[in-house]
Chains A and B, each alone.
Chain A
Amino acid sequence: MASANAISQTGPVRFWDRLNISTKRVIWAWAFLAVPIIFYAGIRFYPTFQAFWLSLTNWDLLRPAQFIGFANYQKMFADPVFWKVFQNTFLYLIIGTPVSLVISFVIAYYLDRVKLMHGFIRALYFLPFLTTAAAMGWVWRWFYQPVPIGVINGFLSSVGIPQQPFLRSVDQALFSILIPAIWAGLGFQIIIFMAGLRAIPSTFYEAAKIDGLGDWAILRKITIPLLKPTTVFLVVFSSIGFLRIFDQVYNMTSNDPGGPLNSTKPLVLMIYQTAFSSYQMGYAAAQTVVLFTILLIVSLLQLYVLREKK
């Protein structure tokens, strides 16, 4: 064994010795980089491309996949439920992202000036982010119940307002789910915004004050423009989060997932049901391709809009 190694080593060793130091460095760097790249290629990229192929088949787990062209896509675009789900997904995004960013910025902006019990208040805001989405979903689900157990309806009834259906309404359910979803993400966004605020050099503010600028002008001319990298990061991060919303919806409507009448169903939940409840893997793959495309477009669009103007 040992002698066999010694013989085979002579070739490569000589070849290795002939290389100069910078080439060696590059080879070493790539050798280390190869591990995560191979891992990613196997775990992420290969399945992604496989999904593109699957979306053109009628695979149902049991029988071998047959190529059926774009039949899954035709079926999907002709399905009113898909368009409803598509609309829901964008509602989560276009309401969830701006609302959560505005609230978290306002809180971070004022929290930054609070000195009294600063750490404690910050911890309170961060706490929901640490909570499991499933547990939180169930707590809110019970908050929204009708009387006699629903806390919110109990309060409404006691002050003489008729009780609201919340999760049992096709109009209110989506917003009822968005509220805890936004609340859960606030802690993280506040922390990031505060870090961004702290990173703005105080000399800018001092200079502005000397020039006699008011608070509003300072906010508009200095704080918000200089926070741009933070904002870009949070917009992309939170958009992807809302586009992929699942836990809150599934846990708050698990008797009728995405209901009532699909009024809260996001794309991810539809994919989950198609794949793991109806076992239509090909159709689910087609839906996944659509989600992938949306995520890609939204991310690129945001990076373009919020890009650094040189």
Chain B
Amino acid sequence: MRKAYVAGLAAGISFIAMGAARAVEIEYWQYVFDSRVQAMDQLIEKFEAANPDITVKQTTFPYADYQTRVVAAKVAGQGPDVVQLFYGWTDQFVNGGLIQPLDPAVFPHEEIEADFFPIVSAMKRGDDYYGLPTAVRSLALFYNKALLDEAGVEPPQTLDELLAVAEATTKRDGSGNITTAGITMDMAGQDHHWWREVLVRQNGGVPYDAEGNVAYNDAAGAAALKFYTDLQTEKKVGLVGFMDEGQAAFRAGLAAMTIDGTFRLGAFADNPFEWGVVELPADANGMRSNYSSYFANGIGATSTGEELAAAQKFLQYISSPEAMEIWLETVGELPARRDVALTEANLADPIRGPFLKGLEYAQTTQFYDEAAQRQTAIDMVNRVLLEGQSIEDSLAQAATAEQAIIDQGRQ
């Protein structure tokens, strides 16, 4: 008797399970970062409520393993349906067959180009887009209000003002050692982007030519590098390695200014002093530039049929204005659509405002191997500061090394 009952129950359960199996399950992959995972959980919940026939499973990996996991899953034939990737990995992901182009019927190119910030073009290869971002990042100058007030100076708007403010806020001990830096110097942080996309351009050059080859080995590049290394050697307002890292020096209240990105807002939120943000300083002619980057979401190469349709729906949702609002509130990253980002309220916001203005004129470097290319910038500055190499020689050596990385990446 009991057996029959259990059998009946089992049959009932399997019947329900069959009903559930008709719904599509898709997998979403991103790396572990608390607020990003929470934001995605919220988005998935809302998406599933609107699309009861689709379930989304979120899988996360530590950042250090992330790329390796995606590759390993592809080799095993079990890739995700929707996958997050840094824009700089696009070449590797496309060449490796990890992601597929977005169907223009679902994601029309005119709409993408009209609605998103122009930096989204970094996801385009040939005639195809390979992903869309939810949020974007840009750089700005963070300043310590207390230190600036103490020195009686205002946040700088130009590079000349930057030097003046840095000089006014730098403190030194009896032997001339810096005890409070005017500005942090940390090429391993965001300074290499500042140098590449901002300082080189402000000196009249371009970091890369139209084909993506290194183009900074000229007078403009040399002037930009000299401006940067002079901060330590001539002006003595900063010191590479001071307090170990630029962001650590700023957090400790021992640096008056630092250049960093939107992603640092969370870490700086509980700084025990008042701080503010201004746009990256303009040059003498008022010319400004910025560096923007983002993580995009692409569709996995193995996704087909109804899973592909579900994945497209999900990607549409997480690139929608609603999703961007949620992402902005939860993670603090800027919306990738112009009309969602550039609202009156956002632009007037003392923190978000400067980052958003920076997005309007931001550049996005096409990296082949970001870590290795950053290393060439770190080494370039170190050769000048530690080995006394001339600006021109160090610049030329960096250009050769970086071009070799680019050539290797194109193979």
Binding site for B on A (CB under 8 A): 61-63, 141-142, 145-149, 157, 162-163, 165, 167-170, 255-256, 259-261, 273, 276-279
Contacts and interface: CB of A to CB of B under 8 A. Distances in A.
Given A62-B98, A142-B244, A256-B188, A279 B92 contact: yes
Contact of B386 (A145, A168, A273): A168
Contact of A255 (B97, B186, B239, B379): B186
B98 A146 contact: no
Interface residues of B, number: 36
Interface stretch (B218-226, B262-270, B370-378): B370-378
Contact of B240 (A145, A163, A168): A168
A272 B186 CA distance: 23
Interface of B: 64, 67-68, 71, 74, 92, 95-98, 173, 175, 177-179, 186, 188-189, 239-245, 254, 369, 371-372, 375, 378-379, 382-383, 386-387
A260 B188 CA distance: 11
Contact of B177 (A63, A141, A146, A279): A146
Contacts of A167: 241
Contact of A147 (B173, B369, B378): B173
A148 B179 contact: yes
Contacts of A147: 173, 177, 179
Contacts of A278: 369, 371-372
A209 B67 CA distance: 68
Given A277-B371, A277-B372, A148 B254 contact: yes
Residue among B241, B375, B379, B382 with most chain A CB within 10 A: B241
Contact of B175 (A141, A145, A162, A168): A162
A261 B386 contact: yes
A261 B382 contact: yes
B386 A170 contact: yes
Given A277-B372, A278-B371, A261 B383 contact: yes
A62 to B, nearest CB: 3
A256 B383 CA distance: 13
Contacts of B382: 170, 256, 259-261
B68 A61 contact: yes
B244 A256 contact: no
A81 B123 CA distance: 33
A256 B381 CA distance: 12
Contacts of A157: 173, 175, 177
Given A63-B96, A146-B177, A141 B244 contact: yes
A259 B377 CA distance: 13
